Chains A and B, each alone.
Chain A
């Protein structure tokens, strides 16, 4: 009974992550139908409302006007991490995806918010599958990877993108990003980063010369 509940929870979580990911994709083709299908899989009011708004608001032009190059809410992690080398970031993300055979069917960069949230949905699905097979080791591996990926990537820019979208007047994106922030949480290293390169008063306040 407990295992069944866990499986259901994981599948629901995967569907919710995928719905969030879809909200950050360009709304073309079967997008509306896919949003509707995934919204049926969740009980979360915020996501259901986002899907309702998406029906009337979403359009390709509006999407590009927000997420296009130099737009008010950049969709790529690299835009929020000026202190990280873009090449290093992209290669780290690609290594993550390769390790779990994640091959997103999207014409976006590996650090695009739709690709990163899609990866979280994929990991939840993998975790559900491992759980169903009774493969405890892989359940733990995927859960740990999801946590690491969340803390080291999504958490680094979700709060900022949520803030930008909250004032965009585009309800479905404001709600989707708020639902995302609820899952991702704030960046735990933010304060440390802000005080970096200034040395603390109590420790390491001077550089000691080494012996020759």
Chain B
């Protein structure tokens, strides 16, 4: 019962968030096509903020719960502790990569907005290359989470789910104030 309940929670919250993030990424690429720096900045800023809250929900709440479960009461559906730790580390490294690269891109686009001058087309082309690589890695990353990490979370007991669900929910709704109207 708890497995089915948590499966639904994971699908409704985090898997659905992956889909929303992918749609936002698509909108960012459309803005790149138009070449309007202000629009690129707006979409990138929002995508960055949305991905940041998704990452905080996982790093602060989901991952520690998975690691604790793997250490304290690992169930048969879960692999060895070593595999769980290695997977979480890989996912965390990806999060660092996404935040570092996107943060640098936000700064870059902000500077482009301040200094509307030469090389805008070239810079947008470089951004597109960067985002294409980032999106490819994000898709692999999301597949890894949905196939493994979220599945392991389905082995939590009901008490753990009661604690975890509102924490994830709250984190996903915790957008910076400037986006509250979006």
Contacts and interface: CB of A to CB of B under 8 A. Distances in A.
Interface of A: 56-57, 59-66, 68-72, 168-170
B59 A62 contact: yes
A71 B52 contact: yes
Interface of B: 45, 48-49, 52-53, 55-56, 59-61, 64, 92, 94-100, 102-103, 106-107, 110, 167, 171, 174, 176, 178
Nearest to A64: B99
B134 to A, nearest CB: 13
A59 B53 CA distance: 14
Nearest to B64: A56
A61 B176 CA distance: 17
A98 B174 CA distance: 40
A70 B95 contact: no
Judged by DSSP, the binding face of B is helix
A105 B52 CA distance: 27
B55 A60 contact: no
Given A61-B95, A62-B95, A65-B55, A70 B48 contact: yes
A60 B96 contact: yes
Nearest to A61: B95
Contacts of A56: 64
Interface centre among A56, A64, A170 (most CB of B within 10 A): A64
26 contacts: A56-B64, A57-B59, A57-B60, A59-B95, A59-B96, A61-B92, A61-B94, A61-B98, A62-B55, A62-B60, A63-B99, A64-B96, A65-B95, A66-B52, A68-B52, A68-B102, A68-B106, A69-B106, A69-B110, A70-B45, A71-B49, A71-B52, A71-B176, A72-B176, A169-B56, A169-B167
Nearest to A60: B96
B26 to A, nearest CB: 21
